[in-house]
């Protein structure tokens, strides 16, 4: 049973942000690092996947919608986001094979938290939306098939950190490493025996310059300026995401 687990979500192919988090003492000494999807869809996909692969068994991988979309894009079904189409063309075959094989969920027993299910968006789907203020009925719907013994669910996808109770079950979203909404920095979570939502600050100016210089993605500089500087607030993101959790049809 791991005593301390670092959860890294939505890295989105941003190497400087990932390096900053991996350098955190609590990540370096964690029993396990769990990745909850959307790992490589961004301006430095090959480098990010290689760095994580080098960590070996210290890392537990869970797939997200972007992993699925990268594999599909490589097979000829274009993604809706251009950086994903570009990233799919950069990846080696071994990297694509790894992404194609990632599970939708992983459940681990964690000290202090009990059976903990990790997923990207929800346990049943890699891109549906739940938010900190989603209705209890919505949570009941997306958790309908989760085993009763699971006491904690960790999800990502919406790039905003939160913890909340859902009918006695704890839900944790660690936020995003590479595309945070609500403030610059790399957001992650430390689990066991409790939950700590963490934010790693790094030199954003240097990171943007590095992404622009090192990535061959044609819009790398603009992409970095928008996402590494967190141009989108959490309020803006919630307004965009809110209709996708069903509330527009049932107020």
In sequence order, which residues have a C-beta less than 8 Å from that of residue 164 and are 6 or more positions away? Answer: 132, 170, 171
Distance separating alpha carbons of residues 167 and 164, to the nearest angstrom: 10
pLDDT of residue 1: 75
Whether the predicted pLDDT of 101 surpasses 50: yes
pLDDT of residue 249: 47
User: Confidence band (pLDDT; 50, 70, 90) for 251?
Assistant: very low
pLDDT of residue 250: 44
pTM reported for the whole predicted model: 0.96
pLDDT of residue 248: 57
Q: Which helix (H) or strand (E) holds 95?
A: helix 93-100
pLDDT of residue 139: 96
Q: Maximum distance among all alpha carbons in the chain?
A: 49
Over range 149-157, report the average pLDDT: 98
């Amino acid at each position: 049973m791991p005593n301390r687990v670092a959860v890294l979500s939505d890295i989105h192919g941003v190497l400087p942000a990932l390096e900053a988090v991996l350098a955190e003492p609590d990540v370096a000494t964690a029993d396990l690092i769990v990745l909850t999807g959307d790992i490589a869809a961004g301006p430095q996909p090959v480098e990010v996947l290689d760095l994580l692969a080098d960590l070996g068994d210290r890392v537990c991988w869970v797939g997200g919608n972007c992993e699925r979309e990268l594999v599909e894009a490589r097979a000829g079904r274009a993604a809706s986001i251009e950086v994903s189409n570009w990233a799919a063309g950069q990846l080696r075959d071994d990297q694509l094979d790894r992404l194609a094989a990632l599970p939708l969920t992983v459940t681990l027993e964690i000290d202090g938290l009990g059976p903990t299910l990790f997923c990207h968006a929800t346990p049943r789907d890699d891109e549906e939306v739940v938010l900190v203020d989603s209705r209890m009925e919505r949570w009941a719907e997306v958790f309908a098939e989760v085993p009763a013994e699971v006491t904690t669910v960790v999800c990502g996808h919406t790039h905003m950190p939160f913890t909340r109770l859902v009918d006695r079950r704890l839900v944790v979203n660690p936020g995003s490493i590479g595309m945070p909404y609500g403030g610059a920095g790399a957001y992650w979570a430390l689990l066991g025996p409790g939950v700590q939502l963490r934010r790693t600050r790094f030199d954003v100016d240097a990171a943007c310059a590095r992404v622009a210089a090192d990535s061959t993605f044609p819009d790398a500089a603009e992409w970095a300026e928008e996402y590494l500087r967190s141009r989108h607030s959490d309020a803006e993101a919630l307004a965009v995401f809110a209709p996708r959790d069903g509330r527009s049809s049932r107020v």
